[in-house]
Structure 1
Amino acid sequence: MTQKTHRFSISQVTQGRHKFYTCTIPSDVLAKCCFVSTRDEDPVSGFQRVLDKGRAQEIAKYIDEGLGTIPSAIIMSAQQEADLKIIGKGKTVEFNDSPRAFLILDGQHRVYGFSIAESSLRIPVVIYNDLSRRDESRLFIDINSKQRGVPNELLLDIKNMAEYENDEENLLREVFDLFNSDSESAFFNKFSAASRAKNKITRVTFNGAVKPLLNVFRGKDAEEIYSILNGYFLAFRVGLETLDCEDTMQGAIVFRAISSFFPIAASKLKDRYGSEYSVDNFHSTMEGMFLRTKPAKFKTPGTSYKALADYLENNIKSEFTL
């Protein structure tokens, strides 16, 4: 039986001591002819063991819904099973239709996504040929160590521009921006919107801390949420000043712990003063707690924000008497 082959137009590129070929291949062909690791006997189960199926399903859904493009190239190394040939005066590549034709060096999740998508599209690829296992391993390390992903802080910052935000993300962005821009904010000039910065709170940290509180603020808009939270944070900063550790509020663990503690403090305030969430009322509610709080808990908070939040909760409850 004659071996089925595929042919595609190519361009040859030389970089350093390596030569490779670029072309576009239909995604269904690509999915059938690639595998992830030379240690996996079965290409399909190899995909399933090594890769994140949820991430691949997101890619497949993105493709099937026709939402956009995936222009970045898949980088592959031709294997012996491919029997890769350059024909047509160096303008065409021919290879066997084999599930182990190409070892993927970069783009595993995209190829897995293509394999489970219902639709097909042309995918740019880079093909290396005649690489040793050492060369493949070194290229894999170089590709995956030299490339840097876009920081999550930047992705969150530009989601609004891309019109990718859901309602929850939009609300969090508006509250963050109020904290960042209002001169009366407890964190004025202490937030960093698009990147990580020393002693500043990023959108990623802020969203992780404040998102669980949105159910408490159900029905309130960004300005109302900001006003109440800002009163709380200002009062908390006053309490930390008495412990000479107010600068610790910008730490990710401390900020998340303080945010997690907010419903406890707000509930106690409401029992005493009703729905008057002022700085003075928050301060009065937490004043006794700070008398029992050790500065070291904030200066060296450890790695668990929950542990610090629990410590604060125990301290505020200890003042209860009949």
Structure 2
Amino acid sequence: MSMADGVKTQRFSVSLVTQGNHRFYSLTVPSDVLAQTCYATTREEDPMEGFQRVLDKKRAQDIADYIDHGLGTIPNAIILSAQPEAEIEVLERGKTLQFKAASKSFLIIDGQHRVYGFALAQSDLRVPVIIYNGLTKAEESRLFIDVNTKQRPVPNELLLDIKKLADYEDDQEKLLGRLFDLFHESASSPLLGMMSSAAKRKGFISRVTFNHGVRPLLPLVSSLQTVEVYRILANYVRSVTSASQIHERGVNIVDPTTFRGFMLTFPSVTQRVQEKYGKEYAEEQFFDVVAPMIERVSPAKLIKAGNSPKAVAQILEDALKPRFSL
């Protein structure tokens, strides 16, 4: 490393990689060097302030915390385009890459939040980096589009499934996971054969839909064992499907909006069951409260509710109230 005009010169071992018509350098760079030399906005803007305008600081701070707490690794390569300020040179027969560590030496093609997270972190680490050199602005733009449209994020349903294997779940997620598995696997489940654990599938309740629907209910059941929570929710779902069939309302409980709407109505229904029967929460007791509600529900109103679980819940809440006249 040397210093010229107040700008440090960095040298790193590299490999030259050719893919089709593209050539780029593969190397590892200290995270603090990346934070000093990379930018993600127009060349006229200050790199750090530019980061803060176009990126999600909370997401970057989560990355910084992840680094500082030593929770794991970030093996994904940062993809950069060298700018004239870098004054890149290849030395030692292609084995060493030299560049000036100026504030705008590299434009970030992919990995903006990671680099911003490195800048916020207290710890340093070596980061895999891919550097393209000599790209035009048009080529940079095309590469940015290719990189950011060809990559597909992991589905949330699969992430929830994998979190359990990775032991990354918090207490609520663990409870929701156990409840999902009971509904998914138990022979007594009213949703048996209607659950999808690792992917979103039409006509099935995914982990994401299940969690969205059941999570608001967790404060009500915090003192109960998992199997008891399952028993009560299962009895509620059975009463909904039975009442729908009897009154020919065609309630599709596996529809995400419908499922979440009925879960939002669960506290009001359960309160009425408790007031009338106590804390047994048997299926027939739920049915006694749910059946009149579903009978009064207007299918046309449910259709108008669209994709809003809250709108569905409001329609159900209105139908739960008995009609009264003098």
Q: Pick the TM interval, shorter chain.
A: over 0.9
Aligned to 1:24: 28
| 1:11 counterpart (15, 18, 30) | 15
The structure-2 alpha-carbon separation of the partners of 1:91 and 1:165, relative to structure 1 and needing over 3 Å to count, comes to same
Q: What is the CA distance between 1:169 and its match in structure 2?
A: 0.8
Name the SS for the 1:214 alignment partner. Answer: helix
Which residue number in structure 1 is paired with residue 106 of structure 2? 102
Matches within 5 A, 1:247-262: 248-262=252-266
| Uncovered stretches (5+) of structure 1, i.e. residues with no partner | none
**CA offset digits 1:58-113 (Å, max 9, x no partner):** 11111111111111100000011111111111111111111110000101111111
Q: Given the superposition, is the C-alpha separation of residues 289 and 40 from structure 1 closer, same or farther in structure 2, using an over 3 Å criterion?
A: farther
Q: Which moved more, 1:84-93 or 1:39-48?
A: 39-48
Structure 1 counterpart of 2:145, from 129, 141, 148: 141
Q: Give 1:297 deviation, angstroms.
A: 4.0
Any conservation in 2 of the 1:248–1:298 contact (CA below 8 Å)? no
User: Which residue number in structure 2 is paired with residue 278 of structure 1?
Assistant: 282
CA contact (8 A) 2:253 2:259 kept: yes
**How far apart are residue 319 of structure 1 and its match?**
3.4
Q: Which residue of 2 aligns with 1:132?
A: 136
Question: Could you tell me which of 166, 178, 191 is aligned with 1:187?
Answer: 191
**Matched residues in 1 for 2:43 and 2:220: separation?**
50
Partner of 1:317: 321
Task: Please give the alpha-carbon distance, in whole angstroms, between the structure 2 residues aligned to 1:221 and 1:57.
Answer: 36
Q: Contact 1:24–1:122 (CA<8 Å) still a contact in 2?
A: yes
Q: Deviations over 1:102-136 (max 9, x none)?
A: 00010111111100100100000000000011111
Distance 2:170 2:183 in 1: 20
Whether the aligned pair in 1 keeps the contact of 2:302 and 2:315 (CA below 8 Å) is: no
Question: What letter corresponds to residue 14 of structure 2 in structure 1?
Answer: I
> In structure 2, what is the equivalent of residue 115 of structure 1?
119
For residues 45-124 of structure 1, what are the structure 2 equivalents within 5 Å? Answer: 45-124=49-128
- Change in Cα spacing, 1:286 to 1:120, as seen in structure 2 (3 Å) is same
Q: Residue 220 of structure 2: SS of its match in structure 1?
A: coil
CA contact under 8 A between 1:256 and 1:305: conserved in structure 2? Answer: yes
Provide the secondary structure at the position in 2 that maps to 1:6: strand
Q: TM-score, normalised by structure 1?
A: 0.96
One-letter amino acid of the structure 2 residue matched with residue 131 of structure 1: L
- Structure 2 counterpart SS, 1:77: strand
- Counterpart AA for 1:11: S
What residue identity is the alignment partner of 1:89?
A: R
Distance in 2, Cα, partners of 1:243 & 1:151 = 37
The code of the aligned residue for 1:235 comes to S
1:295 aligns with 2:278: no
**How many residues are paired up?**
322
Confirm or deny: 8 A CA contact 1:77 1:128 kept in the other structure: yes
Normalising by structure 2, report the TM-score: 0.95
* Cα deviation, residue 276, structure 1: 2.0
Q: 1:77 to 1:131 in 2, by over 3 A?
A: same
Match of 2:230 among 220, 223, 226: 226
User: Partners of 1:260 and 1:239 in 2: how far apart?
Assistant: 18
Shift in Å, 1:242: 3.3
| Aligned counterparts of 2:42 and 2:97: Cα–Cα separation in 1 | 23
Unaligned runs of 5+ in 2: none
In structure 2, distance between residues paired with 1:319 and 1:284: 16
C-alpha distance 321-278 of structure 1, shift in aligned 2 (>3 A): farther
In structure 2, C-alpha distance between the alignment counterparts of 1:242 and 1:102, rounded to whole Å: 67
| Separation of aligned partners in 1, 2:63 and 2:70 | 11
| AA aligned opposite 1:104 | I
* Letter of the 1:4 counterpart: K
